[in-house]
Structure 1
Amino acid sequence: MFTKGMTRGLQAAALAVALVGGPAIAAVAADSGTDLEVDEVATSDNVEHTAHVPPQGAFADSFGTDMAFQGDLAFVGNYNGFIVYDISDPESPQTVSQVLCPGGQADVTVHGDLLFLSVDSSRSDDSCQSESLSATNKEAWEGMRVFDVSDPANPQYVAAVETNCGSHTHTLVPAKNGKNVYLYVSSYGPRDAYPDCQPPHDLISIIDVPVDNPEAAAVVATPNLFAEDGGGYTNTSGCHDITAFPQRNIAAGACMGDGIILDIAKPLEPKVVERVRDTENFAFWHSATFNQQAKKVVFTDELGGGGAATCNEAIGPNRGANAIYDLRGRSLDFQSYYKIDRHQFDTENCVAHNGSLIPVNGKDLMVQAWYQGGVSVWDFTDSSNPQEIGFFERGPISDSELILGGSWSAYYYNGHIYSSDITKGFDVLTISDPLTDPAADVQMDELNVQTQPMYRGGN
């Protein structure tokens, strides 16, 4: 979310000023396909709004972001740190702990007793008490924080690793030996004035974390993914997000101006094997999702950086959408776009954002966040004809001005859909539909959506 080069070091504050208090963004409400009043909730007939937990305490006025899951726990990132929820009873989630540790959008993953938190806001040091510091200062710090969450009620900060240009997002790739975990760190926004974030920054950082000794975590590789190869592709100044499919030795990267496929059979030496561009309709390649057979990839376009009203008739059905590609061998073959057709008010930021597969064998089903466009459940089994099969959404935060909000991430986990709303908090949804019902048979011990698992069941 958002181009970091304009907000480095003051990202959360800049977002609040630009999108909440800024005088230039007031808009007259346009017709909405759902015609909802402010904060009114609507769902399709097959979706139930099961539970809601509003943000509390130091997190009440901060932005919620991405999520990870382990057992009966949900870990939700936030511009102020992260929150742990007990979801053993999905109808009544309980807050277990809130860890105050500011540092940008706080992309989050979990692995065993460890939680990893991205820091993409220049800080005075690596502590949770740090303050914002300009990235022009050589002493500024950003990168990856590591916590021990073996006691989820009392997480402990155990390590920090600085990375080039910080960590906007990261992807967890477990080593095959079970003793290490690698973190693919994606970041961007280089400038000549930033000592630790120099152009062209056409690389990712790979952190090696010894599971039994996380204090020894360190950057062990910085592979260049965008060196000029004679094929017309030049450096793209970084990736926004990478989704790995470790059991298939493959990854897909959404790298601002490029969609890429990586061979990760040697995880410390990822190799680009395919690149595509869409100069007609894609503005900012944001994230990627494989289908279960790794024969398709859904790329998202975060048109407007997540802060603009793009789900309307004027923008149309192809921009700010998903692009579905069939993966044939190592070649990506474009099939179609998918975008919610429920037009939103011009006061609602809305564009394709984070989602996950719904595990049903023989079907390609996905749940996805669309900011103030809500949560969409859709079917791309027919790559050329994707269809929405369910939705949840709220009316606009305001009927007179654009205020940043809506679902940042919406993921399916062990029978329910969980949504992290930027301003409203944590939502639990239940879908009851013949297409998605078989997914209830799939029970997972852990889910980091950008590390896709091989599902068992879902028949």
Structure 2
Amino acid sequence: MRLPVRRIALTFSALMLLVAAPPVVAHEDHGGTWDPSPTSQTKNLKIVGSAPKTSDVPSYRNSDLAFWGRTVFAGNYEGFRTIDASDPENPRVLSDFACAGSQNDVSVWKGLLFVSIDSPLTAPECGSPRSLDAEGHTTPGFEGIRIFDVHDPEQPAYVGAVATDCGSHTHTVVPDKADPSRVLLYVSSYPSGELAESAYGNSCSRVGEGHSKISVVEVPLGDPASASVVNEPRLELNDYKGNAGFRGCHDISVFSAIDRAAAACMQEGQIWDISDVENPTTIARIHNPAFDFWHSATFTWDGSTVLFGDEAGGGTSPRCRATDPDTVGAIWLYDLASLDNRDATTPETPLSHYKISRVQGENARCTMHNFNVLPVEGRYVGVSAAYSGGTTVFDFTDRENPVEIAHNDPHGANTWSSYWYNGHVFTNDTGRGMDVMLLADPVRAGANKLPHLNPQTQESLIG
């Protein structure tokens, strides 16, 4: 299937400080108006700059982050913001672009911003309402990828859109090492509903094999308006919790230097060979009965270890209560070499798992969420969002014994994304906005600087 784009006219200092310290104050249940003073933090992870949310729309929720140079691209359900982080202590909003859509997860590549839409709209252009019938039921409409020109981050411009089956819950930038004139996107989604084919050529169904595929979108960098779906690789997947046809992938992380991808596919994890970037193939299927929902993944920068995250309860339920075991909603570590040719029928023994030990309130939703690993040699350190648990930093240099070395959990936290980028931790909280945090640990001085970062895309080996 090749679906064309729909067009419209466009008229540091590395100061060494103490490593870890006890929490400043005890933890409280989350709720109410956000208080800038932390409810729970270690002295070695502090907020040094913020770009608070700029909307009071009730549906406003911040989502994912991407980085190019000193510019941060911050998605939210009402659009996205571009933020100048040249001075991390004083991040400056360059633009607050209105273009509503769920979830508006973002990635950026050479002046182009890609945004995921996972709810049918009447049209792909910004300002298009939800596609609903007279009774308020969802009807077929546009879902997929929107493309923006952000060469001037102060003046983003809509370029066009590509419709994809079951929309785009998230997507991943995949550089083409053989053809730098284009970039690919792996679009992941799953059938939360049954929708017939829309006027834009996309549909969504659980019938038969269900949505056992991803969409591969090609974006010619010289003509992004001609972007299209060039392949829909079929995947062997298990039904999620026995629901017939309810299949698909949530997040996909790629590591170009080793031609591998790690896919979190609801009921299982998979490792793909991406040496043929248009045709990823499954080389391992991973089963772990402790998982509730395979949500996200990343690699260590030396390519030895893959981390999979469990969004137990779908991110809407409390999973960090005193009664919840530390195996629920955790990040699980696997030795990558040991996963070759797994068939998902026999559980693969993980190296270990990690989850915050700080108990959250009975009604505070909490699991490990979006995360990445610091690009440093000789040590493994991860950064993760934990929804109501804020942001955690954990050392897993001993891969069988990961341990938290820092955290910052502001009052009322609902942190969607927390990532390391060029000396700081950047977070996007659904209610507060973007925070910039300083980690006082020797690892900061040894971490490599990157020219850009899409957290689900790793390009070069380090270590």
**TM-score category (smaller protein):** 0.7 to 0.9
Q: Deviations over 1:219-239 (max 9, x none)?
A: 0000011268xxx9x976100
Q: Which amino acid aligns with 1:246?
A: S
Q: Give me the TM-score of the superposition, normalised by structure 1.
A: 0.85
Q: Residue 58 of structure 1 contacts residue 100 of structure 1 at CA under 8 Å; is this kept in 2?
A: no
User: Which of 86, 105, 108 is 2:106 aligned to?
Assistant: 108
Tell me, what secondary structure is at the counterpart of 1:328? helix
Structure 1 unaligned residues grouped into runs of 5+: 1-31, 398-404
Distance 2:224 2:47 in 1: 39
Distance 2:288 2:140 in 1: 39
Tell whether 2:364 aligns with 1:348. Answer: yes
Tell me, what secondary structure is at the counterpart of 1:96? strand
Q: Which amino acid aligns with 1:454?
A: S
Q: Which amino acid aligns with 1:412?
A: W
Deviation at 1:191, TM superposition (A): 4.1
Distance 1:406 1:283, change over 3 A: same
What CA RMSD, in Å, does the superposition of the two structures yield over aligned residues? 2.2
Distance 1:341 1:197 in 2: 39
Tell whether 2:297 aligns with 1:288. Answer: yes
Q: How does 1:20-169 map to 2 (within 5 A)?
A: 34-35=27-28, 39=35, 40-41=37-38, 42-57=40-55, 62-134=60-132, 139-169=140-170
Q: Residue 237 of structure 2 contacts residue 247 of structure 2 at CA under 8 Å; is this kept in 1?
A: no
Q: How does 1:289-308 map to 2 (within 5 A)?
A: 289-308=298-317
Q: Which amino acid aligns with 1:102?
A: A
Distance 1:438 1:126, change over 3 A: same
Structure 2 unaligned residues grouped into runs of 5+: 1-24, 198-202, 341-347
Distance 1:218 1:33 in 2: 52
Deviation at 1:206, TM superposition (A): 0.3
Q: Deviations over 1:5-26 (max 9, x none)?
A: xxxxxxxxxxxxxxxxxxxxxx
Distance 1:108 1:295, change over 3 A: same
User: Which of 414, 417, 436 is 1:406 aligned to?
Assistant: 414
Distance 1:434 1:271, change over 3 A: same
Q: Residue 299 of structure 1 contacts residue 323 of structure 1 at CA under 8 Å; is this kept in 2?
A: yes
Distance 2:81 2:362 in 1: 31
Deviation at 1:328, TM superposition (A): 1.9
Q: Which amino acid aligns with 2:185?
A: L
Tell me, what secondary structure is at the counterpart of 2:399? coil
Corresponding residue pairs, total: 411
Q: Which amino acid aligns with 2:49?
A: A
Q: Deviations over 1:35-83 (max 9, x none)?
A: 4786441321211210122111466861000000011100001001100
Distance 2:443 2:82 in 1: 31
User: Which of 234, 251, 257 is 2:261 aligned to?
Assistant: 251
Match for residue 197 of structure 1? 204
Match for residue 210 of structure 1? 220
Q: Which amino acid aligns with 2:84?
A: D
Tell me, what secondary structure is at the counterpart of 1:315? coil
Tell me, what secondary structure is at the counterpart of 1:122? strand
Q: Deviations over 1:365-423 (max 9, x none)?
A: 1110001101000011222111101000023x3xxxxxxx5110001111110000000
User: Which of 373, 391, 395 is 1:379 aligned to?
Assistant: 395
Deviation at 1:134, TM superposition (A): 3.9
Q: Which amino acid aligns with 2:130?
A: S
Greater shift in the superposed pair: 251-260 or 337-346? 337-346
Deviation at 1:347, TM superposition (A): 3.1
Distance 1:214 1:346, change over 3 A: same
Tell me, what secondary structure is at the counterpart of 1:91? coil
Tell whether 2:452 aligns with 1:446. Answer: yes
Match for residue 375 of structure 2? 359
Tell whether 2:420 aligns with 1:420. Answer: no
Match for residue 354 of structure 2? 338
Distance 1:129 1:204, change over 3 A: same
Superposed structure 1 runs of 4+ greater than 3 Å apart: 35-40, 57-61, 134-139, 190-195, 329-333
Deviation at 1:434, TM superposition (A): 2.3
Q: Deviations over 1:417-440 (max 9, x none)?
A: 00000001110100011244311x
Distance 2:74 2:57 in 1: 11
Distance 1:37 1:283 in 2: 24
Q: Deviations over 1:144-164 (max 9, x none)?
A: 000000111110100100000
Distance 2:59 2:196 in 1: 30
Distance 2:217 2:61 in 1: 27
Distance 2:326 2:390 in 1: 16
Deviation at 1:300, TM superposition (A): 0.5
Distance 1:309 1:37, change over 3 A: closer
- Aligned-residue sequence identity (percent) comes to 39
Distance 1:285 1:236 in 2: 14
Greater shift in the superposed pair: 405-414 or 111-120? 405-414
Q: Which amino acid aligns with 1:115?
A: L
Q: Deviations over 1:302-355 (max 9, x none)?
A: 011111111112112111111111112543641212110011112321111001
Match for residue 401 of structure 1? none
Distance 1:139 1:387 in 2: 47
Q: Which amino acid aligns with 2:88?
A: P
Distance 1:293 1:185, change over 3 A: same
Q: Residue 409 of structure 1 contacts residue 420 of structure 1 at CA under 8 Å; is this kept in 2?
A: yes
Distance 1:49 1:158, change over 3 A: same
Q: Deviations over 1:87-129 (max 9, x none)?
A: 0000000100011111101110000010000001110111111
Deviation at 1:210, TM superposition (A): 0.3
Deviation at 1:34, TM superposition (A): 2.4
Q: Which amino acid aligns with 1:242?
A: I
Q: Residue 140 of structure 2 contacts residue 196 of structure 2 at CA under 8 Å; is this kept in 1?
A: no
